[in-house]
Structures are given as C-alpha cells and as structure tokens.
C-alpha cells in the first residue's frame, strides 16, 4: 500500500464528509480507521498491523512528532494540503497497555466559520442567548460535553455582534480551533509557561471589548475571568459541568464566592448536540442522508439560565420562574415532537 496516497485519500474523504475527527484505533486484526460524523464513530477502512503503524508514523513525521517514541502520549499540528485547499490537522497519539499506538486527527477547515451554521431545536433559547451577547460587560458561561458546539456558538454570537459595531475581540484557547481574522487569537502553550492566567492578564491590559476563554480549568483562571468581568469587559468562557447548576458549583469549588458569581454572571448556557431523527429512513441522521441534505445532521438543545434563574438557585424560597425550560424538560419536548429517537432521549437524559 502507498501510505502517502492513502493518507491523502482518507483525509480528503473525511473533509468532504465534514468529519470532525479521524480515529486510527488498534484491534485484533490490525487497525481500523473511523470517521466521527455527527458525534458517531463510523468505520471506513481496515488496515493490517504493518500499514496501521506506517499510517500513524507518516502523520507523526509530518507533524514533527517523535516517530521513535510510541509509549509516551504526544500531540502535534500541521497544515495538510488537499486538492483545492489546505486544512489544519491537530494530532494526538496514545498507546494501549500492549504498546500499540492510536491516533486521533482533528480536522479544522480554514473556511469553517463561513460554512458552519448554528442549528437549534428551539428559537426561544437561541433568542435569549442573542440578547445576552448585547451586554457591555459581564460573564457568559457555556457548558456541555466535548463536541457539543460550545466554541462554534461563541464564535457565531460574537461575529453577529461585530456586524453592528466594530469592537476588539481577543480569544484565548488551547489550541485555537477556529481561525477568525476579525479576532485577535492567542494560544496557550503550557510547555513554554504560557498559561490561560498569563494570557488573560495580558489581554486585560490590551483593553479589549470582548474576551473569549477556551476553558476555565483552574482557580487562577477563574479569578482572572471574574476580575475581567468586574472591570467592564464582556467575557465568554466554557466550563465543564454536568448541567447548568453544576457550572455554579464548579466555580465555587475553584474558590469563587456565590456573591461574586451573582454579581458577574449574566448567563449560563448548557447545551448538547443531538442527532436529528429522520422519519423517512427511520434512523438518526448521523450519516449523509438525502432526505435531510439541506439540514444540519445534529442540532443543539440549550438550557439557558439568566440572572433570574441564577438568583433562584441561590435563593430557593423566592418565587420560581413560571415556565420550566430545564434541559430534561426540553429534551422530553423534542422527543414528543418526533425530532429525536427514543434511544437518543434515553442517552442524553440527565439523571
């Protein structure tokens, strides 16, 4: 097998299908190559043990990774040429207990923002989120599992705001996943000592109007984000949590008082991307479907907490909101409307 030609073919096919990730995983027969389409892993190719190793080594070489090191996890990046364009690839390798390496390639298209759209199940929540982005200062937090569209949503919201007024936007990420020329994009490099905290300090001195933070992952970053919101900046950031309430609990674990959280947070968005059910093919549209060719194959289900809901969380004796639009409530609604299958409903329900 010509590994170079096969590598270009597999990446080009993945790009044509709008695949988010390409996985190369060892198995009993050798290696399998999978495409992640709409959150689902779909097997595309089988490789012999020798060809699987050569495939992984080829990409490690292109990304200037240590091809001789197989047991230590590595990461790398490269600009990969395709027939009519080039695409950014982010590589990650890790070995199993037998010493067999696996490779995950994240595909980051140059024109991602132009082609991508935010597909949601309910416009009510999306309109709430668009109102939040109009604030001059404060903290808007996004949460949800990996590959739930948090970064894409933040980018689209800020870009929409820039259409009506010119402002300076700084994004701080690890790594930068979406290239956007209208943003000043900086990247964390912890190996060189460039952390979220350091970049946040420098960004605040740069007098931006809006700051996007890839992830609040430690106490220092959390405190800097709160400081930025208190000093008149609009900050959008992601936090890993089980649900919207868990976002507040997580920040309290990082040393932020409930009083500061109530002062600074203007909104919390918890979201997941759900496969859309296709009544014509009687399945979830996780592969290319002619019936839904003009739609996104997944849509975001969002729970939005504004200041009213945040205050209710801290003051439970006060009158509750008249309309219950929790994540599970909305999930039950999209299931009853026939937008998702029963399997998806059971999979995404939050216990």
pLDDT at 242: 94
Q: Which domain holds residue 73?
A: 3-110
Query: Residue 161 above 80 pLDDT?
Result: yes
Question: Token digits for 50?
Answer: 């020798």
Query: Residue 201 above 50 pLDDT?
Result: yes
Q: What is the DSSP string of 234-290?
A: EEEEE---SSHHHHHHHHHHTT--HHHHHHHEEEEEEEEEEEPEETTTTEE--S--G
The span from the CA of 6 to the CA of 82, in Å, is: 13
Give the tens place of pLDDT for each residue, 247-286. Answer: 999 999 999 999 999 999 999 999 999 988 766 555 554 4
- Per-residue pLDDT band for 113 (boundaries 50, 70, 90) equals low
Last residue of a domain, one of 82, 110, 138: 110
Domain identity same for 202 and 328: yes
Asked if 139 contacts 264 with a C-beta cutoff of 8 angstroms, the reply is yes
Domain identity same for 251 and 195: yes
Please tell me the total count of domains within the chain: 2
pLDDT at 85: 79
Counting residues of the chain whose pLDDT is more than 70, the rounded percentage is: 90
The span from the CA of 255 to the CA of 224, in Å, is: 12
> Tokens 């569209």 belong to which residue?
149
Give the tens place of pLDDT for each residue, 17-54. Answer: 888 899 999 999 999 999 988 778 899 999 999 999 99
pLDDT at 6: 95
- Window from 66-70, 161-165, 251-255 with minimum mean pLDDT: 161-165
Query: Residue 87 above 90 pLDDT?
Result: no
Domain identity same for 132 and 275: yes
Domain identity same for 91 and 150: no
Q: Where are the alpha helices (DSSP H) in 63-208?
A: 112-115, 123-132, 150-162, 196-205
pLDDT at 114: 60
Average pLDDT, the chain: 88
Domain identity same for 52 and 123: no
Q: What is the CATH number of the domain that holds 40?
A: 3.30.450.90
pLDDT at 287: 44
| Residue 211 neighbours by CB distance under 10 Å | 27
The span from the CA of 155 to the CA of 212, in Å, is: 9
pLDDT mean over 304-324: 79
């Amino acid at each position: 097998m010509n590994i170079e030609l096969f590598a270009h073919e597999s990446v080009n096919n993945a790009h044509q299908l709008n695949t988010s990730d390409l996985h190369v995983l060892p198995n009993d027969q050798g290696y399998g190559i999978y495409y992640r389409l709409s959150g689902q892993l779909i097997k595309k190719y089988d490789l012999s043990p020798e060809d699987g190793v050569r495939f992984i080594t080829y990409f490690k070489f292109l990304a200037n990774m240590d091809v001789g090191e197989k047991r230590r996890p590595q990461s790398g990046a490269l600009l990969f040429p395709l027939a009519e364009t080039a695409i950014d690839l982010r590589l990650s390798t890790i070995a199993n207990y037998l010493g067999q390496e696996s490779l995950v390639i994240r595909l980051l298209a140059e024109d991602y923002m132009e082609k991508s759209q935010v597909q949601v199940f309910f416009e009510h929540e999306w309109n709430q989120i668009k109102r939040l982005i109009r604030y001059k200062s404060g903290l808007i937090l996004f949460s949800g599992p990996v590959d739930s569209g948090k970064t894409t949503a933040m980018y689209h919201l800020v870009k929409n705001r820039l259409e009506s007024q010119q402002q300076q936007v700084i994004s701080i990420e690890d790594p930068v996943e979406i290239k956007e020329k209208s943003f000043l994009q900086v990247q964390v490099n912890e190996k060189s000592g460039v952390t979220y905290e350091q970049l946040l300090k420098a960004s605040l001195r740069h007098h931006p109007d809006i700051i996007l933070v890839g992830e609040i992952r430690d106490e220092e970053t959390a405190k800097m984000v709160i400081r930025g919101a208190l000093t008149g900046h609009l900050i959008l950031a992601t936090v890993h949590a089980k649900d919207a309430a868990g976002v507040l609990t997580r920040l309290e674990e990082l040393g932020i008082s409930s009083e500061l959280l109530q002062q600074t947070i203007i909104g919390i968005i918890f979201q997941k991307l759900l496969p859309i059910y296709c009544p014509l093919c009687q399945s979830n549209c996780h592969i290319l479907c002619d019936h839904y060719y003009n739609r996104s194959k997944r849509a975001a289900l969002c729970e939005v907490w504004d200041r009213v809901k945040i205050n209710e969380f801290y003051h439970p004796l006060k009158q509750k909101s008249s309309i219950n639009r929790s994540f599970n409530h909305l999930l039950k609604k999209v299931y009853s409307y026939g937008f998702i299958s029963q399997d998806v409903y059971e999979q995404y329900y939050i216990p």
